[in-house]
Structure 1
Amino acid sequence: MIGKLDQALGFHEAALRLRSERQQALASNIANADTPNFKARDFDFSQALQNAVGRTSGAPAAPTAGLAQTDGGHQAGNGSVTRAGAPSMLYRTGVQGGVDGNTVDMDVERNQFADNALRYEASITMISSQIKNLLTAIQG
């Protein structure tokens, strides 16, 4: 019983974590809309969720790319690059070319931000409903 409960809530935990990371990426894009040469970043949510769910169901984790320190003078790599379970960030190509090299399209970013926030809230509501149903079943 506990395993099934953990499986059901584990999926939602992974989805909420990824939604939160995506919200941060989209907020960063919006915040840097006027920064010259800033490249908008995002990740494929469905692929990242499949990777996260596959990892939590007992499947081996996909190998992560690391930075090799071949010289003592090299600095340690950024932790976000090699962090296990992190989605791979991709650069979003701009529809219209900007003079300053910035690829942030505010209409796209705002729409993606609102959509992601709505889906985050829907996941929270679904989890809350599942927990209420479990409490009702336990209490009788």
Structure 2
Amino acid sequence: MAINLDKLVGFHQNALKIRNDKMEVIAGNLANANTPGYKSRGIDFQKAMAQAQQSGGQSMTRTHEKHMSGGMVSSTEIGFRIPSQPDTGDGNTVEVQRERNEFLDTGMRYQATIEFLNGKVKGMKKAISGGQGQ
């Protein structure tokens, strides 16, 4: 019986990628917190996960060494956030406390997914070895 790793970890692989992308966007927002006119950006995790699940992990094959690889750096849609506080006068919409909270929340969820996957891998190793050793 073959083990399909995509079925086992595919959802979590997508979740890790999207959460990584989200943390990069938040880091960019925090880096531009004092930049006049900067508009805060964000990623809708639910929407991005739905898109990732629909794509079904389709990939392209590289047929020549000079061709670009088929893997996309990011297919996550990045949008602008709607500020919850009034404009401060410089046109910047970054809300530092909100960004920090989002970053911490996303980081904790990323770590939880890593821990879950580590547990899955340990379980597979144990099943393969018949419960013998580590």
Tell me if TM exceeds 0.5: yes
**Residue of structure 1 equivalent to 2:76:** 87
**Residue of structure 2 equivalent to 1:124:** 114
Does 27-36 or 93-102 show the bigger shift? Answer: 93-102
Q: Name the SS of the counterpart of 1:36 in structure 2.
A: coil
Deviation at 1:2, TM superposition (A): 2.6
Q: Name the SS of the counterpart of 2:47 in structure 1.
A: helix
Aligned-pair identity in percent equals: 37
Seen in structure 2, the aligned counterparts of structure 1 residues 111 and 51 have a Cα distance that, compared at 3 Å, is same
2:95 to 92, 99, 105: 105
Deviation at 1:85, TM superposition (A): 5.9
TM-score, normalised to structure 1, is 0.76
Check conservation: 2:29, 2:41, Cα contact below 8 A: yes
Structure 2, unmatched stretches of 5+, are 59-71
Cα distance in structure 1, aligned partners of 2:95 and 2:57: 37
Amino acid at match of 2:3: I
**Residue of structure 1 equivalent to 2:26:** 26
Does 124-133 or 10-19 show the bigger shift? Answer: 10-19
**Residue of structure 2 equivalent to 1:73:** none
Cα distance in structure 1, aligned partners of 2:55 and 2:3: 19
Cα distance in structure 2, aligned partners of 1:27 and 1:85: 16
1:114 to 58, 81, 104: 104
**Residue of structure 2 equivalent to 1:7:** 7
Give the helix-richer structure, 1 or 2.
1
TM-score, normalised to structure 2, is 0.80
CA RMSD of aligned residues (A): 1.6
Cα distance in structure 1, aligned partners of 2:102 and 2:73: 25
Deviation at 1:84, TM superposition (A): 8.2
Number of equivalent positions: 115
Which 4+ residue blocks in structure 1 deviate beyond 6 angstroms? none
Deviation at 1:117, TM superposition (A): 0.2
Check conservation: 2:21, 2:74, Cα contact below 8 A: no
Cα distance in structure 2, aligned partners of 1:23 and 1:121: 12
Seen in structure 2, the aligned counterparts of structure 1 residues 51 and 84 have a Cα distance that, compared at 3 Å, is farther
Check conservation: 1:40, 1:104, Cα contact below 8 A: yes
Check conservation: 1:40, 1:91, Cα contact below 8 A: yes
